[in-house]
């Protein structure tokens, strides 16, 4: 579809969140279709996890986004979907890969939303494809378990913060979940959640560096708990780390089923977003360093640095590998 | 994309206007891409006309709409696009053709919006395809000229109308044209206009028969004049004819460039929409007869009857032809 | 236009904010048209104030909202517009008055947004109409000045609040101002701001009483400062007073032009919203009493009580007057 002014920031760059939402919709369609392809209980595929995603090149207003999706692995209860996004300038014909994402879905019964159904297996062209898929499946399963445990943090407000401190840029928004945000089962689409997360992270980044910012990458996102129609969700973001030219922002999503007395507010999702600051010509700008004050902030800065160096090393290894081929 | 609650009426049937908007977006993308496929002035394809369209089967919330488009004819300054819409129930895998539409676009220069550019010619597999396309091109050109002339009517309000009269159900809405309604050139997308037209026609039909109604078909729509960002558009509808099971509604679109002193309010588009009334089980219901009072209303009723009988005869001829093959 | 699922809460009642947004759009159109009706500099009417508004009966999904607007007074630099909203159930034909609102607009030059233009005077049928309008004009002018002065309060966060305290239900959201939120001048539509205010106030009310709530009335709202495209706006709400069956919520709007270094964050709007809690059958429910803790909270509670009693007295006087006629 054509990118509209509402999909973009004032500099004309399409929000990463808009792209994440399109990716998730494509993933939900293909995996729901697959899981219903054999006779049996009807089901809806629910997003369980999105693997780390890089935004390779910015998309602009007026360009057309082409989204394609393919199922690449099935375990007994989950589906791995690979989604590619290309931006096409229909005036010049130029096409660019904008985004590649891997998503995991789980089929939930339409009749009983707490029942996870079995996934029809796919055929693999080669045995190695199945083995590699299985390896990816095991890895993500482990990572999901891990993040579930360290999911208890809360963002506390700060009064009169200094510029470039963590408290200065931290932000949160609330959103009342409406019918158009939800699947047939009455739960929020993963893509809607990701769009709100990107919105908050973008505001944190812009408050920190006061320039035009764009999403550079999103770390793996795990969806631990479903969010029901009628909930209020609070999406909060705080900066955790800055390198010379990038900012890492941690985002939390908390759901408050306030009309349902029996449930407490709970943490539904958390993730790290990385942003870069761009000049008017679209070149990366240096980013003011994050000033850490408390012990926790210093610890999170070091952890962010670890993730940053690890990603950098991985990318260099890939480039060397590519150069040798 | 997946159909959401906001795309549909309370009975869960997707608005004809939502489908028209998707059709037009697909047509605009493929024709803009084609018109820019040769080196030359960059341009944007503007909708000039939509041929008569039948809604073959209703689409429901939760179904996925698959839209495909193909260029079928090019004249020197215009492109004919054929768009097909399939609805897919991803739970059952069932697919149905919902809609086939033919649209005409004209390439306007990005630098000078009043300049119509030349269209790169397409290759035809067979000579007959070109001849048939040329015939369609001449026919629509004639029809556009004709409708341009009789475009002067105005809908006046009626005080305390009787049920089932024309005045009783006539309706109008106003809409302030915002940035997301517009193309790169700053003019309203044809699809946005058609969606508003369907909304008004649907209110007229529902007021008349007070049941669940769905769009059955849309007569050819000609876009005589562009509508600019910042205009207020008034969309008005009145019932012109009822058969036993259908209602014909005439819809006018007037644009009021109210901050631009130099221009008067003008008629931008007009068209006929046909609706049917459905029971809770989705079966067509009888429609109360339209009570005509003035001479003009009686004349319009007879003209509507003429269109109705003509369409019916055409459809019967097609079915006989199909039966003989 | 037809009310859609996204316009309403889960109980099907249309959000007061949706109605306020429609009212403001109608007011902006009629006053912009009027201010451009004489030759001169083109201008856009900007909302300066909305008088106190009562929501007389709730509107539901599937109903059609009819909005009509009329200019009732003009001063040298401002326009008073009276807007009426009727809800129509198009299946039964039943119509109800939902809302009456009075809005004040000021014409700003399209070329120079800081220049207030002169308003073409309207003709009055009777001299008394002009005199009454002038009285209303003087009154609102005085009230605007007053509220401008007491506009400095800030909502501070509370850690682990007890149920039914002020801190327990207070809420805030941030919103990045996009192109569709803005007028041709690049400033946020008053209606967009009011919709966000109603959203926050509704969440505060729902958190307090954990039931289905609807907007009962909105106190006069003054728009002190324009908010520009690209700003982040923070909308915060806290409960100030509860009677047996109603809740009063104070809402603040702060604009943060964060890419524009030269401007600090500033208070743009503030207002009081009143909500009632409804049972599933639509009957008013008793509301848990607000627990006030600090001196400020107790003072605000008393002030709210004053406003409540004043409104009640005014309404009783009107009813007596009506009964005597």
| CATH code at position B271 | 3.10.129.10
User: Looking at the structure, do residues A82 and A192 belong to the same domain, yes or no?
Assistant: no
**Of residues B6, B62, B110, nearest to A180 (C-beta):** B6
Sign of CA dihedral C238, C241, C243, C244: positive
In this structure, the answer to whether residues C97 and C172 fall within a common structural domain is no
pLDDT of A281 reads 82
In this complex, do B210 and C36 lie within 8 Å of one another by their Cβ atoms?
no
pLDDT of C260:
67
pLDDT value of position A3: 83
Q: Which residues of A are less than 8 Å from B62 in CB distance?
A: 184
Say yes or no: A176 and A286 in one domain: yes
| Structural domain includes residue C33 | yes
Contacting residues of A for C258, CB less than 8 Å apart: 206-207, 210
For A203, the closest of C157, C172, C174 (CB atoms) is C174
Q: How far is CA C323 from the centre of its chain?
A: 30
Q: C42 with C117, same domain?
A: yes
| Predicted pLDDT at C179 | 80
Q: Which of B90, B185, B187, B189 to mutate to test the interface with A (most CBs of A within 10 A)?
A: B90
pLDDT in tens, A206-218: 889 888 889 999 9
* Average pLDDT estimate for A141-153: 74
User: How many structural domains comprise chain A?
Assistant: 2
Round the average pLDDT of chain A to a whole number and report it: 89
Kindly determine whether residue B210 and residue C92, on different chains, have CB atoms separated by under 8 Å. yes
CA distance C192 to C180: 9
* Partner-chain residue, chosen from C28, C90, C110, that has the shortest CB–CB distance to B203: C90
Helix or strand (DSSP H, E) at B278: strand B266-278
**Cβ neighbours of A38 in B, within 8 Å:** none
Q: What is the pLDDT of residue B239?
A: 97
pLDDT of residue C259 exceeding 70, the answer is no
Instruction: Give the separation between CA A10 and CA C147, rounded to whole angstroms.
Output: 33
Q: Do C258 and A171 touch (CB under 8 A)?
A: no
Q: Which residues of C touch B257 (CB under 8 A)?
A: none
H or E stretch covering B206: helix B190-209
pLDDT over threshold 70, residue C121: yes
C90 lies in which domain range? 2-123
Secondary structure element (H or E) that encloses residue B296, with its range: helix B295-324
- Complex ipTM, two decimals? 0.74
* A160 classed as catalytic: no
Indicate whether A17 and A101 sit together in one domain. yes
Asked if residues B46 and B187 have their Cβ atoms less than 8 Å apart, the reply is yes
pLDDT at residue C282, as a whole number: 81
Give the closest of B36, B62, B180 to A93, CB-based. Answer: B36
pLDDT of A83:
95
Taking an 8 Å cut-off on Cβ atoms, the answer to whether B6 and C6 are in contact is yes
Are the Cβ atoms of A179 and B32 closer than 8 angstroms?
A: no
**Residue A185, min C-alpha distance to chain C (Å):** 15
Q: Does C258 contact A6 at a Cβ distance shorter than 8 Å?
A: no
**A39 in contact with B at a CB cutoff of 8 Å?**
no
Using CA coordinates, name the residue in chain C closest to A180. C6
Tokens at residue C299, please?
């003072």
pLDDT of amino acid A61: 85
**In angstroms, rounded to a whole number, what is the distance separating the alpha carbons of residues C300 and A319?**
63
Does B108 lie at the interface with A, CB-CB under 8 angstroms?
no
Q: Is residue A55 part of a domain?
A: yes
**Mean pLDDT calculated for residue range A289-317:** 93
Q: Rounded to an integer, what distance in angstroms lies between the CA atom of residue C301 and that of residue C210?
A: 21
Same domain, B7 and B84: yes
* CB atoms closer than 10 angstroms to residue A264: 9
* Shortest CA distance from C198: residue in chain A: A176
The verdict on C269 and C191 lying in the same domain is yes
Residues B198 and B294 in one domain: yes
Give the mean model confidence (pLDDT) for residues C106-133.
92
C83/B contact by beta carbon, under 8 A: no
Work out the pLDDT band at C307, boundaries 50, 70, 90: very high
Q: Is C322 on the interface with B (CB under 8 A)?
A: no
* B152 at interface of A, judged by CB pairs closer than 8 A: no
Q: Is residue A131 part of a domain?
A: no
- Cβ-based contacts of A171 with chain C (< 8 Å): 174, 232
- Domain boundary residue, one of B123, B150, B180: B123
| Residue B139 in domain | no
Most confident of A87-101, B296-310, C24-38: B296-310
Q: Which of A181, A198, A219, A254 is catalytic?
A: A198
- Determine, yes or no, domain membership for B230: yes
Contact (CB, 8 A) for B249 and B201: yes
- Residue numbers of B between 14 and 33 with CB closer than 8 Å to A: 25, 28-29, 32-33
Q: Is residue A312 part of a domain?
A: no
Average pLDDT in chain C:
88
Mark which of B72, B104, B123 sits at the end of a domain. Answer: B123
Examine the domain organization and report whether A244 and A186 are in the same domain: yes
Tokens standing for B203?
């209110």
The residue-averaged pLDDT of C155-169 equals 83
User: Is B308 part of a structural domain of the chain?
Assistant: no
In this prediction, residues B17-26 reach a mean pLDDT of: 92
pLDDT digits (tens, 9 = 90+) for C22-51: 999 999 989 998 998 887 888 999 999 999
Smallest CA–CA separation between B311 and chain A, in Å? 34
Specify the pLDDT at position C161: 84
- Specify whether B118 is located in the same domain as B178: no
Quick: pLDDT tens for C62-76.
888 989 999 999 999
Q: Mean pLDDT in chain B? A: 89
Asked whether residue C119 falls in the same domain as residue C241, the answer is: no
Per-residue pLDDT band for C306 (boundaries 50, 70, 90) equals very high
Weakest-pLDDT range from B74-78, B145-149, C60-64, C108-112: B145-149
Do C11 and C83 belong to one domain?
Answer: yes
Check: CB of residue C109 under 8 Å from CB of residue C96.
no
Q: C261 and chain A: CB distance < 8 Å anywhere?
A: yes
pLDDT at residue B152, as a whole number: 63
Residues comprising chain C, all counted: 325
CB contact under 8 A, C179 and B179: yes
Tell me: pLDDT of A51 over 80: yes
User: Could you tell me the pLDDT band of residue C90, with boundaries at 50, 70 and 90?
Assistant: confident
Residue A73, domain member (yes or no) = yes
Instruction: Note whether C203 contacts A232, CB cutoff 8 Å.
Output: yes
pLDDT at residue number B149: 63
Residue of C172, C206, C230 with shortest CB distance to A259 = C206
- The nearest alpha carbon in chain B to A91 belongs to B36
Q: Among all residues of chain A, which has the CA nearest to that of C261?
A: A210
């Amino acid at each position: 579809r054509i990118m509209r002014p509402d999909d973009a920031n004032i500099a004309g760059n399409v929000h990463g969140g808009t792209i994440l939402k399109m990716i998730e919709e494509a993933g939900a369609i293909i995996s729901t279709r697959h899981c219903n392809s054999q006779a049996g209980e009807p089901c809806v595929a629910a997003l369980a996890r999105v693997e780390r995603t890089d935004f390779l090149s910015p998309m602009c207003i007026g360009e057309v986004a082409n989204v394609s999706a393919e199922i690449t692995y099935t375990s007994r209860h989950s589906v791995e979907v690979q989604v590619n996004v290309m931006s096409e300038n229909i005036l010049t014909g130029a096409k660019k890969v904008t985004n590649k994402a891997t998503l995991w879905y789980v089929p939930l019964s339409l009749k009983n939303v707490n029942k996870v159904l079995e996934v029809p297996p796919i055929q693999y062209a080669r045995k190695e494809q199945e083995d590699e898929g299985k390896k990816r499946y095991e890895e993500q399963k482990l990572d999901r378990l891990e993040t579930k445990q360290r999911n208890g943090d809360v963002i506390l407000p700060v009064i009169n913060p200094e510029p470039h401190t963590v408290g200065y840029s931290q932000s949160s928004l609330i959103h009342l979940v409406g019918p158009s945000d939800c699947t047939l089962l009455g739960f929020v689409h993963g893509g809607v959640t990701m769009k709100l997360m990107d919105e908050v992270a973008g505001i944190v980044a812009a408050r920190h560096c006061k320039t035009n910012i764009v999403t550079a990458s999103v770390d793996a996102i795990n969806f631990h708990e479903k969010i029901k129609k009628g909930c209020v969700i609070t999406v909060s973001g705080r900066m955790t780390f800055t390198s010379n030219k990038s900012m890492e922002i941690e985002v939390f999503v908390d759901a408050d089923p306030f009309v349902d007395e029996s449930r407490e507010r709970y943490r539904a999702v958390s993730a790290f977003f990385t942003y870069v600051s761009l000049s008017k010509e679209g070149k990366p700008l240096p980013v003011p360093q994050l000033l850490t004050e408390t012990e926790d902030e210093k610890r999170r800065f070091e952890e962010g640095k670890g993730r940053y160096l690890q990603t950098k090393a991985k990318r260099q290894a890939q480039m060397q590998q590519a150069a040798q081929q």
